């Protein structure tokens, strides 16, 4: 989508300099954006202006009548897209950028209804750039020329009917969602609208085309007909709900809902449950899960067929419920599962991870885990071992924490007298010690190339040969490897062997960062308070609700590990009394850091520098918070030119 990668800080600095001097620092802003800023300046657009020049009501009515047929095919897609996105605003404009249709969840958004969105009137927008460049466009909020527009990001795509441009569709107010996701949804919606308007298909083909939008949804999304039968569902829905019948017929929604109250979440009208209501649904796992109904809306095709679109979010995958006498009752999780599963999470992002873990644990296949530092890679690896039933030990090895010269003997062992300083009796290696168990190779990306060759040979032969010995020993271990590095880039740069990667990556698992599963933060925070209180022999203090709200505002670059450290600090500094927002601001966060920071993850350089300052320049504590070895942290500091800050 861009020639220069978007960077929030660079864009803000570039905008400020451009407004002051008329110059844009090279390499700071995407070319399309820089060109639009220059055009706005030449047109005399006030960057601090707040006006939206509305046209007369008669002009709006005339434009609506002119594009009435196109709107009839576009509005089902727009209502469906609104349900998928769950928030924001959607607009239809004419080819000359007049906004004649809008659907919005924001009170402030309708200011752009009934106006021209050209740059002379309103500054740059995703639509204005898309119109000039005749291609889809995504515009981050800080790329907007007018300050008043910098509260929302937007995506826009042209609508072609029979090869002719008939207008644009735009999605606005979507900060917090991945730009590529919004961009793809908007582009696909434009394509579908163009096909519907040019081919004018029947109800069945219209349903098939609109189902393509549902399939792009990142949450469970259903389209339910007026007869209550599920007409379309995406992959995330099928991952949890029994929507496929052997006879090929559609499933009635009453077959999924655990009770009558749960059924109301899928209805419109007086008997309908409001959005963000909870419902218990039967799942493919035999019990029921609790879901949150994030968004729902009515969809009507030009043929007259009516549907209800519903987007769900998994609320509590760890607690199953079964229907009883028309109502749902909670059942505790199985004790044996509680003993073996060492992680917590009820977000959809984490439910996906949990689903993969349950499927792969009992098989001996190697697993390759990727994720940022602190996301819980070792916890997941240990849980896979716990659920596997393997009778051997779980052995964790940090490949970055062992000097290169000792890694061979650490993994495979050595005979007495094998090298200077060796134990006189020799030593068993980690692979032998973990026989019939699991070896967790953390930071596998830091393993030297020579050691990668030895590991590949072990995987192929399943035998170890101690340093200084010619006798091979058969070993049965499962390998789980993990890294926080970009392994795909390492393969391209040939710093990691592709043949080893494919041997390790039989089952691939990517752990989401904490900023992408924020609904899990209160659950994790409360768990850490309880756990640490038990460890320290203290009564667990009460945590105010607003503390959880504040914790959810922060992006947690150190992920779950950083959250645990923050809760430990608050527990200690609260004096075993109530933990309030004052405690949080006094000992963990600066008020402005939380309440004025824009969404988005900090860069690695900024994260390292911030944590060094937080821990008073203590490299050991900073490395622990980042989940990396001291040597690795020192290398990163040299890479970014960071000196240890003091005070």
Find out whether 372 and 513 touch, Cβ atoms under 8 Å. yes
Q: Would you state the pLDDT for residue 157?
A: 96
> What is the rounded average pLDDT of the residues 122-134?
94
Which ranges in the chain are annotated with CATH 3.30.450.40?
Answer: 31-59+82-167
C-alpha distances in Å from residue 127, one per residue of 119, 152, 169, 213? 10, 14, 8, 21
Where is average pLDDT lowest: 173-182, 387-396, 568-577?
A: 173-182
Which ranges in the chain are annotated with CATH 3.30.450.20?
Answer: 206-333
Cα-atom radius of gyration of the chain, to the nearest Å? Answer: 28
Find out whether 584 and 554 touch, Cβ atoms under 8 Å. no
For 348-510, CATH gives 3.40.50.300
Condensed to tens digits (0 to 9), the pLDDT of residues 46-88 reads 998 888 888 888 888 999 999 999 999 999 999 999 999 887 8
C-alpha distances in Å from residue 179, one per residue of 18, 182, 231, 248? 25, 5, 29, 36
Where is average pLDDT lowest: 22-31, 243-252, 258-267?
A: 243-252
Q: Does residue 179 register a pLDDT over 80?
A: no
Q: Would you state the pLDDT for residue 54?
A: 82
> What is the rounded average pLDDT of the residues 487-491?
90
**pLDDT band at 314; cut points 50, 70, 90:** confident
For 464, the enclosing helix (H) or strand (E) is: strand 463-465
Where is average pLDDT lowest: 152-156, 294-298, 343-347, 376-380?
A: 343-347
Q: Does residue 463 register a pLDDT over 80?
A: yes
> What is the rounded average pLDDT of the residues 219-246?
87
Q: Does residue 565 register a pLDDT over 80?
A: yes
Token duo for residue 147? 């300050």
Verdict on whether the full-model pTM lies above 0.85: no
> What is the rounded average pLDDT of the residues 592-615?
62
Which ranges in the chain are annotated with CATH 3.40.50.300?
Answer: 348-510
For 31-59+82-167, CATH gives 3.30.450.40
> What is the rounded average pLDDT of the residues 504-531?
91
Q: Does residue 114 register a pLDDT over 90?
A: no
How far apart (Å, rounded) are the C-alpha atoms in residues 205 and 343? 44
For 514-640, CATH gives 1.10.8.60
Which ranges in the chain are annotated with CATH 1.10.8.60?
Answer: 514-640
> What is the rounded average pLDDT of the residues 365-370?
93
Task: Identify the architecture of domain 206-333 in CATH.
Answer: 2-Layer Sandwich (3.30)
Q: Does residue 600 register a pLDDT over 50?
A: no
Condensed to tens digits (0 to 9), the pLDDT of residues 387-432 reads 988 888 898 888 887 776 677 788 888 877 565 555 556 677 888 8
Q: Does residue 320 register a pLDDT over 50?
A: no
Q: Would you state the pLDDT for residue 32?
A: 94
For 84, the enclosing helix (H) or strand (E) is: helix 68-85
Q: Does residue 556 register a pLDDT over 80?
A: yes
Condensed to tens digits (0 to 9), the pLDDT of residues 249-280 reads 789 999 999 888 888 889 888 778 888 888 99
DSSP state of 448: -
Q: Would you state the pLDDT for residue 176?
A: 53
Q: Does residue 125 register a pLDDT over 50?
A: yes
Q: Would you state the pLDDT for residue 367?
A: 94
Q: Does residue 360 register a pLDDT over 60?
A: yes
% the chain with pLDDT above 70: 87
% helix, strand, coil for the chain, step of 5: 45, 20, 35
> What is the rounded average pLDDT of the residues 105-117?
66
Q: Does residue 562 register a pLDDT over 60?
A: yes
> What is the rounded average pLDDT of the residues 622-643?
74
């Amino acid at each position: 989508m861009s020639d220069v990668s978007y960077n929030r800080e660079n864009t803000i600095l570039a905008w400020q300099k451009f407004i002051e001097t008329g110059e844009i620092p090279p390499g700071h802003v995407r070319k399309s954006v820089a060109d639009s800023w220059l055009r706005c300046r030449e047109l005399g657009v006030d960057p601090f202006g707040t006006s939206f020049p509305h046209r007369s009501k008669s002009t709006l009515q005339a434009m609506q009548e002119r594009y009435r047929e196109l709107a009839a095919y576009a509005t089902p897609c727009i209502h469906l897209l609104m349900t998928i996105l769950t928030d924001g605003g959607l607009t239809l404009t004419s080819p000359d950028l007049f906004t004649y249709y809008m659907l919005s969840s924001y009170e402030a958004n309708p200011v752009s209804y009934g106006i021209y969105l050209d740059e002379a009137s309103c500054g740059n927008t995703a639509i204005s750039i898309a119109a000039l460049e005749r291609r889809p466009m995504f515009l981050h909020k800080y790329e907007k020329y007018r300050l008043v527009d910098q509260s929302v990001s937007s995506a826009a795509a042209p609508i072609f009917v029979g090869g002719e441009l008939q207008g644009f569709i735009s999605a606005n107010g979507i900060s917090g969602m991945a730009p590529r996701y919004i961009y793809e949804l908007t582009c696909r919606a434009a394509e579908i609208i163009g096909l519907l308007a040019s081919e004018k298909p029947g109800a069945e083909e219209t349903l098939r085309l609109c189902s393509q939008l549902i399939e792009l949804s990142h949450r469970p999304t259903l389209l339910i007909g007026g007869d209550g039968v599920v007409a379309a569902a995406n992959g995330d829905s099928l991952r949890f709900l029994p929507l496929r019948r052997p006879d090929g017929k559609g499933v009635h929604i009453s077959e999924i809902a655990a009770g009558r109250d749960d059924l109301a979440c899928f209805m419109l009208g007086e008997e309908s449950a409001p959005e963000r209501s909870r419902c218990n649904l039967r799942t493919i796992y035999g019990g029921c899960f609790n879901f949150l109904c994030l968004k729902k809306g009515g969809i009507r095709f030009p043929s007259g067929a009516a549907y209800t679109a519903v987007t769900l979010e998994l609320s509590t995958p760890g607690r199953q419920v079964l229907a009883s006498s028309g109502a749902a009752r909670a059942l505790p999780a199985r004790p044996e599962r509680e003993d073996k599963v060492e992680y917590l999470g009820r977000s959809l992002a984490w439910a996906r991870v949990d689903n993969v873990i349950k499927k792969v644990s009992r098989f001996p296949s190697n697993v390759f885990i990727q994720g940022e530092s602190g996301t819980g890679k070792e916890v997941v690896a240990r849980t896979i071992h716990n659920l596997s039933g393997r009778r051997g030990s779980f052995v964790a090895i940090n490949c970055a924490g062992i000097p290169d010269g000792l890694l061979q003997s650490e993994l495979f062992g050595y005979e007495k007298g094998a090298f200077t300083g060796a134990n006189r009796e020799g030593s068993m290696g980690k692979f032998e010690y973990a026989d019939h168990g699991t070896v967790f190779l953390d930071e596998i990306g830091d393993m030297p190339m020579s050691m990668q060759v030895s590991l590949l040979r072990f995987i192929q032969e399943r035998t170890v040969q101690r340093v200084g010995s010619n006798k091979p020993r058969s070993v049965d271990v499962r390998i789980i490897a993990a890294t926080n590095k970009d392994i795909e880039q390492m393969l391209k740069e040939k710093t990691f062997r592709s043949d080893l990667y494919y041997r390790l990556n039989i089952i691939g698992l990517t752990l989401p960062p904490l900023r992408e599963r924020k609904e899990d933060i209160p659950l994790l925070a409360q768990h850490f308070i309880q756990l640490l209180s038990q460890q320290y022999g203290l009564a667990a203090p009460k945590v105010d609700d607003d503390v959880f709200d504040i914790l959810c505002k922060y992006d947690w670059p150190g992920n779950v590990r950083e959250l645990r450290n923050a809760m430990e600090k608050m527990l200690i500094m609260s004096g075993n009394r109530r933990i309030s927002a004052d405690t949080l601001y006094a000992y963990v966060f600066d008020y402005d850091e939380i309440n004025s920071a824009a969404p988005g993850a900090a860069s690695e350089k900024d994260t390292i520098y911030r944590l060094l300052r937080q821990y008073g320049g203590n490299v050991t504590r900073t490395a622990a918070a980042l989940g990396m070895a001291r040597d690795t942290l020192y290398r990163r500091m040299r890479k970014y030119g960071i000196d240890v800050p003091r005070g």
